[in-house]
Amino acid sequence: MLSDTDRATYEWQLDVPGFGEAGQAKLRSSTALVSRIGGLGGPLAMSLAAAGFGKIVLVHRGDLREDDLNRQTLMARGWIGRSRVECAAETLRRFKPEIEVEAVDANFAEENAAGLVAGADIVFDCAPLFEERFLMNRECVRAAKPLIDCSMYAMEGQVIPILPGRTPCLACIYPEAPPHWRRRFPVIGAVSALVAQIGALEGIKQVAGFGEVAFGQLIAVDAATMRFDKIRLAPRRADCDICGDPAP
Amino acid sequence: MTVRLNYRGQLAGAAGRSSEEVEADPADTVLSLVLAAARRAGGEFEAMVFDGDGAPRRTLLVASDGEQVVDLSVPVGEDVREITLMPPIAGG
Q: Which residues, in sequence order, are CB contacts of A106 under 8 Å at separation 6+? A: A59, A61, A112
Inter-chain contact B66–A174, Cβ cutoff 8 Å? no
Inter-chain contact B91–A181, Cβ cutoff 8 Å? no
Q: What are phi and psi of B20, to 5 degrees?
A: -155, 155
Shortest CA gap A6–chain B (Å): 32
- Does residue B58 register a pLDDT over 90? yes
- The three-state (H, E, C) secondary structure of A108-128, written as one string: CCHHHHHHHHHCCCEEEECCC
Q: What is the DSSP letter of A66?
A: G
Residue A194: which H helix or E strand, with range? helix A189-208
- Does residue A247 register a pLDDT over 80? no
Residue A115's alpha-carbon distances to A19, A142, B16, B51, in angstroms, are 30, 12, 44, 37
Q: Is the Cβ of A150 closer than 8 Å to some Cβ of chain B?
A: yes
- Does residue A180 register a pLDDT over 90? no
Q: Which residues, in sequence order, are CB contacts of A206 under 8 Å at separation 6+? A: A122, A146, A148, A161, A163, A213
Instruction: Enumerate the residues of chain B whose CB falls inside 8 A of the CB of residue A130.
Output: 88, 90
Say if CB A132 and CB A35 are below 8 A apart: yes
- Dihedral sign, CA of A70, A59, A82, A99? positive
Residues A209-238: what's their mean pLDDT?
A: 97
| Chains A, B: CB pairs < 8 Å | 101
Say if CB A233 and CB B68 are below 8 A apart: yes
Nearest to A152 among B58, B86, B89 (CB): B89
**Which domains, ranges and CATH numbers included, belong to chain A?**
4-232 (3.40.50.720)
Q: Is the Cβ of A43 closer than 8 Å to some Cβ of chain B?
A: no
How large is the C-alpha radius of gyration of chain A? 17
Average pLDDT across chain B, whole number: 96
Cis preceding-peptide flag for A36 (omega within 30 of 0): yes
- Does residue A231 register a pLDDT over 70? yes
A181 — pLDDT class (breaks 50, 70, 90): confident
CATH topology of domain B2-86: Ubiquitin-like (UB roll) (3.10.20)
Q: Is the Cβ of A231 closer than 8 Å to some Cβ of chain B?
A: yes
For A186, counting Cβ atoms within 10 Å of its Cβ (0-12 exposed, 13-18 middle, 19+ buried), the class is exposed
Residues B5-17: what's their mean pLDDT?
A: 96
- Does residue A110 register a pLDDT over 90? yes
pLDDT recorded at residue A207: 98
Q: How many CB atoms within 10 Å of residue A97?
A: 9
Inter-chain contact B61–A218, Cβ cutoff 8 Å? yes
- Dihedral sign, CA of A66, A68, A70, A75? negative
Maximum pairwise Cα distance, chain B: 41
Shortest CA gap B88–chain A (Å): 7
Task: Identify the three-state secondary structure at position A197.
Answer: helix
Nearest to A151 among B18, B57, B89 (CB): B89
- Does residue B90 register a pLDDT over 90? yes
- pLDDT tens profile A186-205: 999 999 999 999 999 999 99
Instruction: Enumerate the residues of chain A whose CB falls inside 8 A of the CB of residue B61.
Output: 173-174, 218, 231
Instruction: Enumerate the residues of chain B whose CB falls inside 8 A of the CB of residue A40.
Output: 91-92
- pLDDT tens profile A117-171: 999 999 999 999 999 999 999 999 999 999 999 999 999 999 999 999 999 999 9
Residue A228: which H helix or E strand, with range? strand A227-232
- Does residue A9 register a pLDDT over 90? yes
Query: pLDDT above 70 covers what percent of chain A?
Result: 99
Inter-chain contact A187–B84, Cβ cutoff 8 Å? no
Residues B5-12: what's their mean pLDDT?
A: 97
**Nearest-CA neighbor of B12 among B92, B91, B86?**
B86
User: Domain residues of chain B, as ranges?
Assistant: 2-86
Say if CB B57 and CB B50 are below 8 A apart: yes
A248 — pLDDT class (breaks 50, 70, 90): low
Inter-chain contact B91–A231, Cβ cutoff 8 Å? no
Instruction: Enumerate the residues of chain B whose CB falls inside 8 A of the CB of residue A183.
Output: 92
